[in-house]
């Protein structure tokens, strides 16, 4: 039987500090003379905690594992591929939701990305993710992102 689920949590993408959760895989910088933003090309691997509240000390429900890279020569538009891996919530423990899509990280308001699959209780998942930056530190690159997931699954 097909089910519908709404999930809500925060992702802690930390590029600096004592508890780094994301790591650049290649050097940042322009690859072409027409790269006016100076952003195009970097890839970052992540394993970021997902918490119920924006504080890192709040209840952890899992992690976001995957990678993202800047896919635009003119803007901070990322292509992202990651799994939400649920580790502590008994109802969803061991299940995943897979997201693949474009994320314009500095766009105001709510952004949207597609859910393209899942495992466990989220088998054959399809849906969408609404995300909004809760906080961003331009010096460190650290960000906390609010996620609302709306997913159909079997």
Distance CA 60, CA 139 (A): 26
Architecture of domain 3-153: Beta Barrel (2.40)
User: Look-up: residue for tokens 């890192």?
Assistant: 56
Alpha carbon separation from 105 to 3, 121, 134, 154 (Å, rounded): 30, 29, 11, 31
Distance CA 84, CA 105 (A): 18
| β strands within the chain, DSSP E | 3-13, 22-24, 43-51, 60-70, 77-86, 96-104, 111-119, 126-136, 143-153
Domain ranges of the chain: 3-153
**pTM for the full predicted model:** 0.88
> pLDDT 10s per residue in the chain (154 long)?
789 999 999 999 999 999 899 988 876 554 444 444 556 777 899 999 999 999 999 999 999 999 998 888 788 789 999 999 999 877 899 999 999 999 998 898 999 999 999 999 999 999 999 999 999 998 998 999 999 999 999 8
């Amino acid at each position: 039987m097909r089910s519908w689920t709404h999930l809500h949590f925060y992702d802690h993408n930390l590029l600096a500090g004592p508890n780094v959760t994301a790591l650049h895989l290649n050097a940042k910088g322009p690859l072409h003379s027409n790269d006016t933003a100076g952003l195009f090309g970097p890839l970052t691997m992540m394993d970021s905690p997902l918490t119920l509240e924006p504080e890192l000390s709040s209840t952890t429900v899992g992690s976001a594992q995957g990678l993202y890279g800047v896919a635009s020569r003119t803007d901070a538009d990322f292509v992202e591929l990651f799994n939400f891996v649920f580790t502590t919530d008994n109802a969803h423990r061991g299940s995943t939701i897979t997201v693949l899509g474009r994320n314009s990280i500095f766009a105001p308001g709510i952004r949207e990305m597609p859910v393209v699959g899942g495992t466990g209780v989220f088998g054959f998942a399809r849906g969408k993710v609404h995300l909004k930056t809760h906080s961003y530190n331009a010096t460190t690159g650290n960000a906390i992102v609010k996620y609302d997931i709306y997913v159909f699954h079997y």
